[in-house]
Structure 1
């Protein structure tokens, strides 16, 4: 138990506060968890006038049945993180970016992080998720209107909540705007675990089948979307040039405005 905050603090981004430290946040609910979101460099800063606090977000035990859209940072507001204890126990937790809190370093230094930790892949996904809060891809309003008015966006979310959806690490769109308010869409389902290819392929097949079943119904606000293809692609195989051409689609995605046809509509 430390008496002051030092540069060699054990705290890192992704660490869980112990239950007894939740009182520092004014939280008494035993079912609540708090995860550190401050960057490691800020945590190592022992100048308490410059960096006096640690930022955290609150969450609770997650529902595995809802992991399809919440694993690997596919939703900008909520995320499911799988924690592992040294004894092999696992814990699936759901965190909400809107449940941010701060705790003073001079108070937190009296506590140690929980033994539950994130794998490297989990922590990298967590860091990307935090960054995506302030940097997201933008799509034309007309394109988003079709997703919303036809309920296609919700139907795509439902597909990712089916078995295999949690293996998808990102949903990438290639949107080509044609004349007559028609959008040609190619979908890439990224995945990391090579052993789960068949499951991700099944998700891709279900999305292709969804568009086939909707036909001309994939329209709204005077525009329509035509699916060119939906394919699974391994993170180890996608090229940098191909990656840069694609834009990440996220659950609850919103666009700020329409951009002129043919222009790049933001970066991944």
Structure 2
């Protein structure tokens, strides 16, 4: 569709397109054809990231593009990749399809927008909570904080064990990880330690379960904290001063925006060159 043509907004609205609409080969073959060949897979799903104001704008000249994330089905969610804990990879559920999918930052792309007026999505939109998680994860790609290279080096030899802790049943319930660290920028010399306080956020329901749990419950919340504490004791050059759970509904804006409280994107991949959004 040529950008000088008027976009049929009413038809797109009638079809149900919105931010976080989901389409695939069967529902939207014309859109599927616009995807780059290496991302065309009839088993995949594609989630619209574009804001509704851009998605349904009358002018294709002003807003020619549809931003899309490729979603690949996976057998089950990895706790290291839920709730935006990994800045490069997100696992979420398309509840309407009873599917868990994996979305990667490197597989975001833009395609011409006009064809959404000629076909309907498979799913009109993700649930509100899942949509919020996806958009927040996308935005946080540009807002996330990095720790000193020396800190990352010191914890790198325990990455397998740390992954196991984060992928436990309790780890998958954690929505975010926040750290207060004594030095968040500089690489410390070998004779100085990074001192940390770590806070895991839980939703209100899971925090209540933690609050009511007996301290010796096998594989419970307290066991999770102890495993992490024991693990950090084995990491040279770090001192874990405290580790706790926090009810995320009790976090204030001031706390979240405080420069002292750093969101830890629990990602053990080395920092590589940024991958641009692919344009076709």
TM-score, normalization by structure 2? 0.76
Other-structure match for 1:77: 88
1:41 Cα shift?
A: 2.1
Determine whether 1:24 maps to 2:34. Answer: yes
What's the CA shift for 1:197?
A: 4.7
Q: Which residue of 2 aligns with 1:237?
A: 250
Q: Please identify runs of 4+ aligned residues in structure 1 that moved more than 6 A.
A: none
- Give the SS at the match of 1:190: strand
Alignment of 1:101-120 (within 5 A): 101-115=109-123, 117-120=125-128
1:170-209 counterparts in 2 under 5 A? 170-177=176-183, 180-195=191-206, 197-198=208-209, 202-203=220-221, 205-209=223-227
Residue ranges of structure 2 left out of the alignment (5+ in a row): 1-5, 214-219, 272-280
The verdict on how the C-alpha distance between 1:70 and 1:255 changes in structure 2, with shifts beyond 3 A counting, is closer
Instruction: Report how far residue 242 of structure 1 moved.
Output: 3.0
- Alignment of 1:138 with 2:146, yes or no, is yes
Q: Is residue 139–residue 255 contact of structure 1 (8 Å, CA) maintained in 2?
A: no
The correspondence of residues 82-101 of structure 1 with structure 2, limited to 5 A, is 82-85=93-96, 90-101=98-109
Matched, 1:246 2:261: yes
Match for residue 51 of structure 2 among 13, 19, 39: 39
The gaps in structure 1 that reach 5 residues or longer are 257-268
Cα deviation 1:16-45 (Å, max 9, x = unaligned): 114232233145532111111122221122
CA RMSD of aligned residues (A): 2.8
1:166 corresponds, among 125, 149, 172, to 172
Q: Identify if the C-alpha distance between structure 1 residues 51 and 204 changes in structure 2 by more than 3 Å, giving closer, same or farther.
A: farther
Which of 131-140 and 9-18 deviates more?
A: 9-18
Asked if 2 retains the 8 angstrom alpha-carbon contact of 1:142 and 1:181, the reply is no
CA distance in 1 between counterparts of 2:151 and 2:40 reads 44
Residue 59 in structure 1 maps to residue 71 in structure 2: yes
CA contact (8 A) 1:83 1:116 kept: no
How many equivalent pairs are there? 243
Q: Which moved more, 1:197-206 or 1:172-181?
A: 197-206
Normalising by the residue count of structure 1, what TM-score does the alignment of the two structures yield? Answer: 0.79
How far did residue 214 of structure 1 move? 5.7
